[in-house]
Structure 1
Amino acid sequence: MTRLDPSLLAAFAPEFATGCDRLATAADAAGAARALDALRGMAGAFGIASLVALIKAATTALDPFDATVTAVHAATLRARSAAIVAAGRDVAAIRILIVDDSALMRRLLREILAVEPSLHVVAEAADGAAALALMAEHTPDVTLLDIEMPVLDGFGVLRQRALAGGGGAVVVVSSAAPPGSPAAILARRLGARAVVGKPSGAVSPDLARRSGAAIRQAVRDAVA
């Protein structure tokens, strides 16, 4: 993609961040719409297509107005603009590989990620060996990795990935490695960018409500 002028991006970044703050704190749909209009104008003036697309999705989500959802879109826009400034060019959606032996958990994770149009699932794996093959095939930006799996567990995936010099970031999502536990510390030492615990066990229908925002934020932070 065409590189953007660094001096112009330096001026763009703080103004766009301020616009994201206005969006995040909007008290109603009218206020959010005004903030989005201003953000759209800035993104359009620079020809940053990915931001324009995200702003369009956020605008669609204003009816009905939900302050929490609006704040999520503001965080997504801020993270994407920061990535664009760092790269000096527009950046594509975050490409994600889901690795979990539970079909239900894989579906729940897909639903969690689908809330944000910038998060795109490129493949899924039910065990660690399949995960390594898909990492090589798809080169995802982020892999959401379970720990307890057949064939090869998450620690094995992290070790083999380190030996192979695999690209992309890994976010561990597992009930076997709650944040701060010895297992979580080991996962971080083996290269995991973040660890997010599954609430209520390995198969938890309340995951989207209780941990969805944390998982999406970990994905965004992993590529920041």
Structure 2
Amino acid sequence: MTMPLDPELLAAFLPEWQAMAARLGEAKDAAAAQPVLDGLRAMAEAMELASLKAMLDGAVLDPFDPAQAAGLAGALARRAAAIAAAGADAPAAEAAPPAGPETPAASRVRTLVVDDSGIMRRLLRDILASDPDFEVVGEAADGEMGLAAMHRLTPDLTLLDIEMPVLDGMGALRRWALEGSGAVVIVSSAARPGSPTALEARRLGAAAIVGKPSGALSLDIAERGALLLRAARRAAGLPA
């Protein structure tokens, strides 16, 4: 059972945490980000905020992806704001311990899949089904439907395509950055590492960007599936 936090202590903690998260988002490389991560980790430990500590413990910054720190910073800022609004470190996917084959349903990472291709949604569901720590709680075929499902289901994690009708993934991501919850992993071949789209997605708070498998019978299905699960586990604060 989660214990409520002291309101005065929480009020003092939040602006300091958000300022530190902003510094993390401005870090130019992994070396510059590391001391900020250490400071955030010390703050989370001092406040005994397990969900924030789990997110930081699972963070491994890629030295070749300077925008990654911005995505992590956004996720940390949103989590802290949610904690402040709730007045407690409510149980969440980020705080879930590593699970074995018999992962209780309540401990699984509740995941939403947003992609306009029914075949790709099925493929992503099958990849997630291979990891007992994940549970797919919903699907959506475009960005507008995805945002509606986010509000309705409040998933811990959303897998989001970029190229979709009605509202594309970048449009959905911009709105999620203002009003959404949980973490987002972009699953798309339209956001190659270092591209303007990938950098903007990171700036908006995407936890990771991975390429789509070519198809269920393609030669890259095993490799892409493993990369996707690794990114999803890190985004959810689980050991990769």
TM-score computed with the length of structure 2 as normaliser: 0.55
| Contact 2:213–2:221 (Cα < 8 Å) also in 1 | no
1:7-156 alignment, distance < 5 Å: 54-56=100-102, 92-156=107-171
Unmatched runs of 5 consecutive residues or more in structure 1: 7-49, 58-90
Check 1:156–1:56 CA distance in 2 against 1; reply closer, same or farther (3 A cut).
closer
Query: Identity over aligned residues, as a percent?
Result: 57
Structure 2 residues not aligned, in runs of 5+ = 4-44, 46-95
- Contact 2:116 / 2:141 at 8 angstroms: preserved in 1? yes
Instruction: Give the number of the structure whose alpha-carbon radius of gyration is greater.
Output: 1
Q: Which residue of 1 aligns with 2:174?
A: 159
**CA separation of 1:168 and 1:51: change in aligned 2, threshold 3 A:** closer
Q: Which residue of 2 aligns with 1:41?
A: none
Structure 1's consecutive aligned runs of 4 or more residues displaced over 4 angstroms after TM superposition are 50-53
CA distance 1:218–1:53, change in 2 (3 Å):
closer
Distance (Å, rounded) in 2 between the aligned partners of 1:209 and 1:140: 25
Structural RMSD (CA): 2.8
Paired letter, 2:198: A
- Corresponding position: 1:180 with 2:226: no
Task: Answer yes or no: is the 8 Å Cα contact 1:108–1:205 preserved in 2.
Answer: no
Deviation for aligned residue 1:51 = 6.9
The number of residues matched between the two structures is: 145
Question: Which protein, 1 or 2, shows the higher relative CO under an 8 Å CA cutoff with sep ≥ 6?
Answer: 2
Q: What's the CA shift for 1:179?
A: 2.4
Equivalent residue for 2:227, pick from 214, 219, 224: 214
CA contact (8 A) 1:97 1:143 kept: yes
Distance 1:52 1:128 in 2: 31
The CA distance in 1 between the partners of 2:99 and 2:202, in whole Å, is 34
Range 183-192 or range 101-110, more displaced: 183-192
Q: Which residue of 2 aligns with 1:196?
A: 210
- TM-superposed CA distance for 1:181, in Å, is 2.0
Query: Could you say if the C-alpha distance between residues 115 and 161 of structure 1 is closer, same or farther in structure 2, counting changes exceeding 3 Å?
Result: same
